[in-house]
Structure 1
Amino acid sequence: MSGGPDGVLVLGEALIDLVPVPGEPEILRVQPGGAPANVAVGLARLGMPVAFAGALGGDGFARAIERRLGDAGVDLTLCARSELPTAVAVADPGEKGTGYHFHLQDTATFRLPERTAEAGRYDAVYVGGLAAVVEPAAPAVALTAQAAARHSLLVVDPNVRQDRTIEGGRSLGLLRELCELAHVVKASDEDLLRLWPDTDPDETSRRLAAGGRLVVMTRGAGGAMAYTPAGPPVSVPAVPVQVVNTIGAGDAFMAGALTWLGTSGGWDRGLSPDRAASMLEFAAQVAASVVTQTGTEPTAPAHA
């Protein structure tokens, strides 16, 4: 595939994160988020044409989300609208990362339509996040992913979330199905261990790649690895920075990897080791631009 004017279609949720203010844990800062929305904004900030196919509500939170997406240059033509409120995720940062407690029921956020007819217009279609497992969005995500697997490049980030509001067994099954359907899988080592708990993440990545996929596994401070359909895995270290915030780092990495694939990689999943390393290094730099600040807006590496 070659890069085209339609770029990337991102399907999923845009919601509000409530994030504790450092030093004042009882004060929560409103921050537009949602993994797919973060990826869409990241792609746009990095210069990639991108459309967001989510759903926006009728409250002030939705207006803030729309401003963020629009200001970044994201195409909202395929975004559904509703008068229902916006979903909220209460962030719970800890030593092992950030957990979330979700308020999802009866919100506009997950009332998104399937986009099977549009999937083939885009070079790549990204799905993942909560929308892949939360009703009523999950069937729309699955149908769109199936169309993208036939007509485009399907990119999946399982982004496994654990919370009382999410049905664990069913959600893991849906995410496993999406990973098996995908052409490109980006996941953390923790995601892979939750999805396939009896298998080492490295072995899972090798198995997925052997099926013709490009698999990118992030390992936090341990860097990232790429597994291609042919050839040995490639590893790059994390960029050494002073970490201020980890929220959105994985989404920024995803946006960086997709941008590199679309601009330098020709959407090719059969990368040579050198090219796979270049992709990982670019994505790691983009992720580093997020963890050094309090927000989730990435910037392109200075040398890119």
Structure 2
Amino acid sequence: MTVPLPGSPPVPPPPPLPPPPVPALVIGEALTDVLTGPGGERSEHPGGSPANVALGLGRLGHPVRLATRIGRDRTGRVLREWFDDGGIELLPGSVGDAPTSTATARLGADGTVGYDFDLVWDLAPATIAALHSGPPVHLHIGSIAAALPPGADQVLAAAEQSAAGATVSYDPNIRPALLGAPERERARVEHLVEVSDLVKASDEDLHWLYPGEDPDTTAARWARRGPALVVVTRGSRGARAWWRHGHLDVPAAPIRVVDTVGAGDSFMSALVSGLLRRELLSGGDPSATAATRARLRAATDGRASHPDVAWALRYAVRAAGITCSRAGAAPPTYEELARPRD
């Protein structure tokens, strides 16, 4: 059952959220995005999908820890300053002697992006040890870090171990240039889907993973395999959220697109934030996590969507729209999203 939202209604400001007793944890790559435009212009920006999600959560008021891998070089220093400005705490061992990874993004005339990568992904022993320092309120994983060896196995192990004491979100954010054939990647992706409470993927991700299959078919199947909520972002067509017994269409916000870099990550961080603020994601110990999962499952158990889920989705769409309206992966702040629409 599709329940369209009429137009693009204003998103009310979220209620105040006191800092959770244990910060949210994001595991994944941080790198330098080198942007090249249609006319050959070039610029550098801090990036990496999980790092963007961490920054987005920080700008939305959440204390965040990030487990990653960056160097002590010039671009690594820029990344550390970026994290400091966003209030992001790097786990021990996240800064090392190896060069900081890069992703070269080629911007098309229509604002779409293609990527080339120069990176290595794994976690230092000190970082892996720090992951066991206590369960986070919420764990987010995804992208290159969840797919590229040798670090992908570390991410999978962390997700499996954290799921007992925290809710988990996952964004496959497929990067074909770094992966093998789709049939080789599906088993890992599907396993991570099964251990997650919330999954976000783009329609491009699903087209690549399952050539010839309608993304709606994939999302509906995923929603029956573990997650309470599976959301497919569809560019200018907005997003479609799936749960076991229904789905919801959320229209895109009307904006002037500068570029789409980081839009999906802004969507992800705002969706996690919205669900945290509605107490539909959380954790800290097994009993609290079980209660939260029961609330999220109850909110996605009918044919029509729960108002809190619909609100969080509109909040996420608006965040993605703001990011698309400016250059680079620049997620909005809590104050920007709390403002009434013009």
Shared fold per TM-score greater than 0.5: yes
Q: 1-side partners of 2:52 and 2:35: how far apart?
A: 15
What is the CA-CA distance between 1:253 and the residue it aligns to? Answer: 0.2
Q: Rate the CA distance shift 1:119–1:200 in 2: closer, same or farther, 3 A.
A: farther
- Which TM-score applies when normalising by structure 2? 0.80
SS of 1:215's partner is strand
Question: Is the counterpart of residue 227 in structure 1 residue 281 in structure 2?
Answer: no
Matches within 5 A, 1:91-106: 91-94=105-108, 95=110, 97-105=112-120
Q: Which 10-residue stretch deviates more, 268-277 or 213-222?
A: 268-277
Q: 2-side partners of 1:227 and 1:248: how far apart?
A: 23
Question: Is the counterpart of residue 279 in structure 1 residue 295 in structure 2?
Answer: no
Q: Counterpart amino acid of 1:87?
A: S
Does structure 1 conserve the Cα–Cα contact (< 8 Å) formed by 2:135 and 2:162? no
Aligned counterpart for 1:217 among listed residues 232, 236, 251 = 232
Q: Rate the CA distance shift 1:79–1:156 in 2: closer, same or farther, 3 A.
A: farther
Aligned counterpart for 2:268 among listed residues 254, 259, 278 = 254
Aligned counterpart for 1:161 among listed residues 175, 178, 185 = 175
Q: Rate the CA distance shift 1:135–1:210 in 2: closer, same or farther, 3 A.
A: closer
What is the CA-CA distance between 1:171 and the residue it aligns to? Answer: 3.9
Matches within 5 A, 1:90-239: 90-94=104-108, 95=110, 97-105=112-120, 110-112=122-124, 113-114=127-128, 117-118=131-132, 121-163=135-177, 165-169=178-182, 170-213=184-227, 214-229=229-244, 231-239=245-253
Does structure 1 conserve the Cα–Cα contact (< 8 Å) formed by 2:107 and 2:259? no
Q: Which structure exhibits the higher relative contact order, with contacts defined as CA atoms closer than 8 Å and separated by 6 or more residues? A: 2
- 1:97-134 CA deviation, whole Å, 9 max, x = no partner? 311111125xxx53445468538521211111111122
Q: 1-side partners of 2:129 and 2:202: how far apart?
A: 27
Q: Counterpart amino acid of 1:76?
A: L
Q: How many residues align?
A: 296
Q: Rate the CA distance shift 1:172–1:86 in 2: closer, same or farther, 3 A.
A: farther
- 1:249-281 CA deviation, whole Å, 9 max, x = no partner? 000000000000111243143325122211110
Question: Is the counterpart of residue 292 in structure 1 residue 325 in structure 2?
Answer: yes
SS of 1:151's partner is coil
Q: Counterpart amino acid of 1:236?
A: V
Q: 1-side partners of 2:234 and 2:207: how far apart?
A: 12
Aligned counterpart for 1:269 among listed residues 279, 292, 296 = 296
Q: Rate the CA distance shift 1:254–1:99 in 2: closer, same or farther, 3 A.
A: same
Q: Counterpart amino acid of 1:7?
A: P
RMSD value, Cα: 2.3
Question: Is the counterpart of residue 242 in structure 1 residue 242 in structure 2?
Answer: no
Question: Runs of 5+ in structure 1 lacking a partner?
Answer: none
Does structure 2 conserve the Cα–Cα contact (< 8 Å) formed by 1:19 and 1:91? yes
Question: Runs of 5+ in structure 2 lacking a partner?
Answer: 1-17, 282-294
Q: 2-side partners of 1:180 and 1:29: how far apart?
A: 38
Does structure 2 conserve the Cα–Cα contact (< 8 Å) formed by 1:114 and 1:143? no
The higher radius of gyration belongs to 2
